[in-house]
Amino acid sequence: MAATVTEDIDQEVVRLVARAQDGDAEAFAQLYDRYVDQTFGYILRRVGHRQTAEDLTGDVFLRAYRRLSTFEWQGVDLGAWIMTIARNRVHDHFKSARFRLERSTDVMADTASDSAPDDPERVAVARDMARALGQALERLKDEHREVIELRFVHNMSVAETAEVM
């Protein structure tokens, strides 16, 4: 039954892409709704600044909208195609002078402070684990760290991760 549900979801995306390629803005809006959270999360993890991530996510979907006519199904999910655009946009951002200015003036947001603590001990343990994981990820090369994030933070399949990389 699960395979049928997955096939139905894929067919839904195929239909939405076809409609969006024919100029249906509502179909593209549905694709946006389907992929925006995953894309934003990926970008936020890479840039570490909420406002910048929001700006870059908007830019990614603008680029996807403009380039949708060039998208062809080649055994790759549309999400992997969008994540490739996101990855490229993040790389462009890090090369820009604007990024160097933002980095020198902004302090990275502490995501642990965004949530209300339920149990102080649990929050402290989670913070320590997140810190240890972050330190371990920082020791990895950028490409290896990105693979881990795509696979386990954004739940992409091996094929989707390979396509993005």
Is 113 part of any domain? Answer: no
The CA-atom distances, in angstroms, between 93 and each of 50, 53, 103, 111, 163 are 14, 10, 11, 21, 21
If you compute the radius of gyration of the chain from its CA atoms, what whole number of angstroms results? Answer: 18
| Number of Cα atoms under 13 Å in the Cβ half of residue 15 | 8
Is residue 129 in some structural domain?
yes
Rounded CA-CA distance 130/46 in Å is 16
Distance CA 117, CA 113 (A): 9
Quickly tell me which residue has 């990389």 as its tokens.
Answer: 165
71-116 confidence digits (pLDDT tens): 887 777 899 999 999 999 998 888 775 555 444 434 333 444 444 5
The answer to the question of residue 111 being in a domain is no
Residue 145 belongs to what domain range?
2-106+118-164
Q: Which residues contact 24 (CB under 8 A, 6 or more apart)?
A: none
Q: For residue 145, what pLDDT is reported?
A: 77
Q: What CATH number is associated with residue 78?
A: 1.10.1740.10
pTM metric for this prediction: 0.59
**55 pLDDT tier (thresholds 50, 70, 90):** very high
Closest C-alpha among 90, 82, 88, 77 to residue 61: 82
Structure tokens at 115: 């949530």
Does 112 map to a domain? Answer: no
Domain presence at residue 10? yes
Handedness of CA 82, 92, 24, 74 (dihedral sign): negative
HSE at residue 24, side-chain half, CA atoms within 13 A, is: 12
140 vs 21: which has the higher pLDDT: 21
Number of domains in the chain: 1
In this prediction, what percent of the chain has a pLDDT beyond 70?
78
Q: Is residue 150 part of a domain?
A: yes
